[in-house]
Chain A
């Protein structure tokens, strides 16, 4: 009788103990391990930017990043939209610089690991990306000749210590750019080829300095990473590393039935690819076809990897060389965003279409067909409880 009682007590203890411990299969554990921040490899050198890991370049880049002088009217800097205390984004559905743009500001954690930049990948390096808002009339609205003059006047000495002598500015118009106003374009056309090249070089170096700074912006550890580390090492999760039943269900759905991990994979929760997920357009914005229209833009960019301003050899240009240029899958395809920190940076999608994670999960559960092209999303059967669990799990990536 005593023995039977002991056996029953043991059984109860095992069952209760089992309740507290999450039950994951080996395959699930393997997937979870692949998502942990500690699985993130070391940042690779960027051979296209030989200043990428030069501290003085990063320091100058940081100055420029926060400098309102880096705009047409002295009111906008990179940090206007990429706010340092807001994961380097701005919480707005569409970014507002000098004017209102048509896209959501992207956060910057881990940005140096991206193969493509912007929601549609219309730039192929971090330094080429950094140059684009500087001349966009809706963002910083400046022009490259004016930026070069500004660098010489404000940061000439710092610039020359990093990049070598500034060019001869005599005869260089105060405002000139191949992309600017009509006056700026005609001023650009009056310049000689060596003058244009000299200004482009200073301009590229501005991007390379800003990129050097942005390489330091990396994702930080979250509750999920602490939970995952304990799970894969077999340790007892302590304090906030322990997941609630709802969070565990959410994680299981994320890597299982809900198929989120198909695209949101790896330690940054992104496949760095472009997908049409049937996200609806915003009514009052200009037509937006995503990746399919970005292909020509990145090919035409003089600062792309094949261009004259790349450092290092052409072997670094594989992404551009083997880019998909013409395929139906590119229509309204947008970059898979990282989900780290996503829970605390609504709104979501490339033009801030969804104001909460609940709306995002609801969209994926019942995807509408894409207005153009074909959505890759399969409909999901998710109960209310399962949707809430997915959101609960996503929050662990932002705590």
Chain B
């Protein structure tokens, strides 16, 4: 009888101890999680914050067919004016891409609208350079210009971001 009781007490004791153990383990795990999160948060702030669009003026086209460069013909971008830009197309080996058909679209991804003008490739200037006329940025902010390029080497696309 006594032993049974002891046994019961004992069991009860074991039960309490395991509860504490679980609690401690839980707390430990929570602390570990907090620690891991803190380390991730502190060591990788760049990836946790919003990144601005890639505004590089030279890019590989989406399927890697061409290397495209896009720059204002007069060197500066002036808001609210019709401007000419130059799209330069080279092969990966650096040879100029000639006779390309280029169509242009774009807009402001944050403002739910397209371009205020319809820019067109109006001239081939040699050495892979195409004049893109009728480019106009009417507002400050993030603009996108999307080029669909078709040449003898094949068709490819490229997107340039312009932030004013």
Q: Which residues of A contact B (CB under 8 A)?
A: 261-263, 265-266, 271-275, 318-319, 321-325, 327, 329, 374, 376
B47 in the interface (beta carbon within 8 A): no
The distance from the CB of B134 to the nearest CB of chain A, in whole angstroms, is 3
The distance from the CB of B162 to the nearest CB of chain A, in whole angstroms, is 15
Question: Which A residue's beta carbon lies closest to that of B84?
Answer: A318
Complex contacts, B82 vs chain A, CB 8 Å: 318-319, 322
Q: Are B134 and A318 in contact (CB under 8 A)?
A: yes
- A374-B134 Cα distance, complex, nearest whole Å: 25
B80 in the interface (beta carbon within 8 A): yes
Complex contacts, B133 vs chain A, CB 8 Å: 318, 321-322
Chain B interface size, under 10 / 10 to 19 / 20 to 34 / 35 or more = 20 to 34
- A266-B133 Cα distance, complex, nearest whole Å: 23
- A317-B85 Cα distance, complex, nearest whole Å: 18
- A262-B79 Cα distance, complex, nearest whole Å: 12
Dominant SS among interface residues on chain A: loop
Q: Are B138 and A329 in contact (CB under 8 A)?
A: no
Q: Are A324 and B138 in contact (CB under 8 A)?
A: no
Complex contacts, A321 vs chain B, CB 8 Å: 133-134
The distance from the CB of B158 to the nearest CB of chain A, in whole angstroms, is 21
Question: Which B residue's beta carbon lies closest to that of A113?
Answer: B80
Q: Are B116 and A273 in contact (CB under 8 A)?
A: yes
Q: Are B116 and A324 in contact (CB under 8 A)?
A: yes
- A374-B139 Cα distance, complex, nearest whole Å: 19
Complex contacts, B99 vs chain A, CB 8 Å: none
Contact of A262 among B116, B117, B139 (CB under 8 A): B139
Extra A-B contacts (18), CB below 8 Å, given A262-B111, A318-B133, A376-B111: A261-B140, A265-B79, A265-B140, A271-B116, A271-B138, A272-B80, A273-B138, A275-B113, A318-B134, A321-B134, A322-B117, A322-B120, A322-B133, A322-B134, A322-B136, A323-B118, A324-B115, A325-B118
Residues 46-88 of B, flagged 1 when their CB comes within 8 A of A and 0 if not, give 0000000000000000000000000000000001101000000
B128 in the interface (beta carbon within 8 A): no
6 tightest CB-CB pairs across the interface, nearest first? A322-B134, A271-B138, A322-B117, A329-B113, A318-B82, A273-B138
Contact of B118 among A275, A324, A374, A376 (CB under 8 A): A324
Question: Which A residue's beta carbon lies closest to that of B120?
Answer: A322
The distance from the CB of B136 to the nearest CB of chain A, in whole angstroms, is 8
Q: Which residues of B contact A (CB under 8 A)?
A: 79-80, 82, 107, 111-120, 133-134, 136, 138-141
- A273-B79 Cα distance, complex, nearest whole Å: 12
The distance from the CB of B84 to the nearest CB of chain A, in whole angstroms, is 10
Total residue contacts A-B, CB cutoff 8 A: 56
- A266-B121 Cα distance, complex, nearest whole Å: 28
Asked whether A322 and B118 contact (CB < 8 A) given A271-B80, A272-B80, the answer is yes
The distance from the CB of B86 to the nearest CB of chain A, in whole angstroms, is 16
- A288-B9 Cα distance, complex, nearest whole Å: 87
Question: Which B residue's beta carbon lies closest to that of A328?
Answer: B114
- A374-B111 Cα distance, complex, nearest whole Å: 11
- A98-B47 Cα distance, complex, nearest whole Å: 64
Complex contacts, A318 vs chain B, CB 8 Å: 82, 133-134
Complex contacts, A324 vs chain B, CB 8 Å: 114-118
Complex contacts, A323 vs chain B, CB 8 Å: 117-118
Q: Are A262 and B140 in contact (CB under 8 A)?
A: yes
The distance from the CB of A306 to the nearest CB of chain B, in whole angstroms, is 15
Complex contacts, B140 vs chain A, CB 8 Å: 261-262, 265
The distance from the CB of A10 to the nearest CB of chain B, in whole angstroms, is 38
Complex contacts, A374 vs chain B, CB 8 Å: 112
Complex contacts, A274 vs chain B, CB 8 Å: 116
The distance from the CB of A255 to the nearest CB of chain B, in whole angstroms, is 10
Q: Are A327 and B114 in contact (CB under 8 A)?
A: yes
- A225-B114 Cα distance, complex, nearest whole Å: 32
- A374-B141 Cα distance, complex, nearest whole Å: 20
The distance from the CB of A165 to the nearest CB of chain B, in whole angstroms, is 36
Complex contacts, B136 vs chain A, CB 8 Å: 322
Complex contacts, A376 vs chain B, CB 8 Å: 111-113
